[in-house]
Chain A
Amino acid sequence: MSYLTLNHIRKQFGTSVAVQDFNLSAEKGEFISFLGPSGCGKTTTLRMIAGFEPPTSGEILLQGKNITHTPANKRNVGMVFQAYALFPNMTVADNIGFGLKIAGTPKSDIQQRVNEMLELIHLPDFGNRYPQQLSGGQQQRVALARALAFRPQVLLLDEPLSALDAKIRVDLRGEIRRIQRQLNITTIYVTHDQEEALSMSDRIVVMNKAIVEQIGTPFEIYNYPATDFTARFVGQLNQLKCVVRNAQTGECEISGQAIRTQTTIAKPNGSEIRLAIRPEEIYFGKKEGLNVLSGVIDEVNFLGAIVRIRLLIGNQHITGDLFNERTFIPPSIGTPAEFSFSPEACWIAEK
């Protein structure tokens, strides 16, 4: 049975709809990310689960119990905020122990649990410090410990890493996931960073303009995007205008060059469609048995591990990502070149 369930959740602020028909069933211990651009309704949905906003309609169930109208302080849901929100007047230990203190836990038990949590977040000697004396990354770890110390049923995190440096962000990602696995706590993680969502989640909810576009594992979301938006938002994507040559066999033409796709095309011959392909599925140069597109290189970006090359074909661009090798000499702009890709790598984009 589903542990946390959202049924047809809708939220309206005045006349503007912030969340529309949101449905989700999370299993116990599952790590779920809400991914989408700013303003798409991620925070609003999370706040409804936390109890800070009442949904306009729909219901929220936790372990089968309807908590839609339960006040936030009676929900037993831990929350981590982007701005840490540690209590500045309390020490790290008092912050972590706050939830237990409110619950009336005996002092010695609180002490023990606080020490346990300090171990868990790898800050064992920081109990007597004040939040202001910690770095951003340390503060966020304390906030995580505080949200977990009172043994909530669900952990909610709202862009907890977006105020931190890139390096710490990546470290903390792993840290959060490790702790979450260790405690096997059902977690909802809000982010606009697709890399974060892909690397951390069991499942991702892709949102756009108040609507859920797709729910799936990172693998499904990335490789089999259900909507045009998901395809474009998650990962890099080339979209090429092309003309259908043979709908039956899936043959078409990009700027006069023939291309094979794997599927039959549901559009009549001669109509214009859009073909989608990920940059990392493209090979540099001509490869036997694959689709080949010839053009002129008009941009080369050296990104370290990856060399991103853009090819001009007729009046359209296509970008290919190549792994860097020391023996590889990046081609110069203006030289003719070929890109190859397999028919399985591309698909017909919507609309």
Chain B
Amino acid sequence: MNTDKKFPIWSWVWFGLGALYFFLPLIATLDFSLRAQKGTISLLAYTRAMSDPKFVEAFSFSTIMAFVTIIVSLGLVVPTLYWVHLYLPKLRPWVEFVTLMPFVIPAIVLVFGLLRTYSAPWIINFGGTPITILPSLTESKIGTRILLISGYVVLSLPYIFRAVDNGLRSIDVRTLTEAGQSLGADTLTILRLVIFPNLRSALLSGALLTFAIVIGELIFAAFLAQPAFGPYLQHLGQHRAYDSTALTIVSFALTWAVMGLIDFVTRSNVPQKSH
């Protein structure tokens, strides 16, 4: 009988149960992915999956999409939030509310909305002559990719917002900007020499999260018929179970690696206290 109050036995029991719930399926998946060859443990599923040219294609497509998404998102969010923190702090909750939309509106609704809105061209009648303001985006390759990236940007907003917002909060943007101004610097110089360097770790963690989201995204890519990693993985799962489990494990590992990188980056950028 354990009567020692200092040992939080129930905490450990619940922790153990939680860990089991989380790890058992993962272990089962890992085990399954190693049994592509009957009777032995092998990496066959991994080598087969990774050497499929379609995999390479899908993965590189998603990687490129992820990078474009990151650039667009940061380009949108950083200046906006800098401005909001500096001059319109009362607007911050509203901006946050807008960025939370992807949590409220399911991706499927978003993608249908995009399709409905942008599949037809936007034409206005200018004194009898029709002028095309915006052509149909779904009819061209580039148009569909623009739609896809727009969707990804929306999906990444809550994460990018939070990362940048945390970064800006941790540095008293207003006073630092004013300090810079009083020392003779203009807004661009202040952004370059003061704000961006202090946001570096925040920007990186936002970017890495976005990367993880885009790589795993299924619905947007599937409905816009794009050769992305998500649909590829799903398709593979229906035909070659071992290979798709192997890729699942790989993407898991990748996500964890990204998390580890976030943690490392956000910690290591702060100069250490003197001893």
A residues with CB within 8 A of B: 50-52, 71-79, 81, 83, 85-89, 98-99, 102-103, 129-130, 132-133, 146-147, 150, 156
Contact = CB atoms under 8 A, between A and B. Distances in A.
8 contacts: A52-B181, A71-B181, A79-B182, A98-B180, A98-B185, A99-B183, A99-B184, A129-B274
A83 B197 contact: no
Main SS at interface, chain B: helix
Interface stretch (B45-53, B114-122, B169-177, B213-221): B169-177
B193 to A, nearest CB: 8
B90 to A, nearest CB: 13
A130 B182 contact: no
A147 B182 CA distance: 8
A72 B171 contact: no
B178 to A, nearest CB: 6
B194 interface: yes
Given A87-B176, A89-B194, A133 B273 contact: yes
A147 B183 CA distance: 7
A85 B175 contact: yes
Contacts of A81: 175, 178-179
Interface in B163-206: 171-172, 175-176, 178-186, 189, 193-194, 197-198
B181 A73 contact: yes
B16 to A, nearest CB: 39
B270 interface: yes
Contact of B198 (A75, A79, A89, A156): A89
B8 interface: no
Max chain A Cβ within 10 angstroms of own Cβ: one of B183, B184, B193, B197: B183
Nearest to A146: B183
A130 B271 CA distance: 7
Given A83-B172, A89-B197, A132-B273, A73 B179 contact: no
Nearest to B172: A83
A50 B177 CA distance: 13
A72 B186 CA distance: 9
Nearest to B269: A89
A150 B183 contact: yes
Given A102-B189, A133-B271, A87 B179 contact: yes
Which residue, A72, A74, A132, A150, has most C-beta atoms of chain B within 10 A?
A72
Contact of A73 (B176, B184, B194, B274): B184
9 A-B pairs with least C-beta separation: A99-B183, A79-B182, A89-B197, A130-B271, A72-B181, A85-B179, A85-B175, A102-B184, A133-B274
Nearest to A152: B182
Contacts of A89: 194, 197-198
A88 B198 CA distance: 7
B179 A79 contact: yes
Contacts of A102: 183-185, 189
Contacts of B274: 129, 133
Contacts of B273: 132-133
A50 B178 contact: yes
Nearest to B190: A73
Contacts of A78: 182-183
